[in-house]
Amino acid sequence: MVWWKRFGCLLATLILYVVPTAESFAVEGTEERDWRQLKIRFFVDGEESEIIDSIYTSGQAEPGVALLCSENLLRVRFATEAVDMRSAISEYPRTARQVTGRLLVNGEEATRDLWAFLPRQRILAPPDRPTAAKIFNATIKGDQVEIDAGRYEVRYGLPPVDDVFRDFVERCRQAGAL
């Protein structure tokens, strides 16, 4: 009977060390995902100043990804945890801090740069187009994508190309972002 208690304690200790915390490491799940469209309108002094065309991954059980384009700009946003992506990308950021972020595609480092972390939205916002372009291409190729930004290490299950994604591509071409 004593050996069983020792084995049980050892097993419990191993589980504590092996299981990552939800905040530090989120893993792609089995949830079926697709792309959703959202037009974000910003107003300055009561007048519309900018319209941003965006698509984001559906589902709130996993961290999501959003692609945004407007007038010659293609950008990407990464959720660091499971959030409502529609709300997170349409809310104006009040505060931000810089973190060093890396994008890995199929385990290989694709980009590394200073990214903005928006704590209220739990979003990482790379400032450069190359990171967004890598996500765009990873979606088309079906590649595995993950980020490493300080304490946030997240794998993303990107939805396959669908009609929403194709329409987004066409609108971004028209806006000069592609």
- The yes-or-no verdict on residue 24 having pLDDT over 80 is no
Contacts of 96 (CB under 8 A, 6+ apart): 116, 117, 118, 119, 125
pTM of the model: 0.77
pLDDT digit string (tens) for 94-128? 899 999 999 999 999 999 999 999 999 999 999 88
Q: What number of other Cβ atoms are within 10 A of residue 158's Cβ?
A: 22
State the amino acid at position 99 in one-letter form.
V
Q: Residue 75 is encoded by which pair of tokens?
A: 């950008």
**Domains (range + CATH), the chain:** 2-175 (2.60.40)
Instruction: State the pLDDT at residue 134.
Output: 94
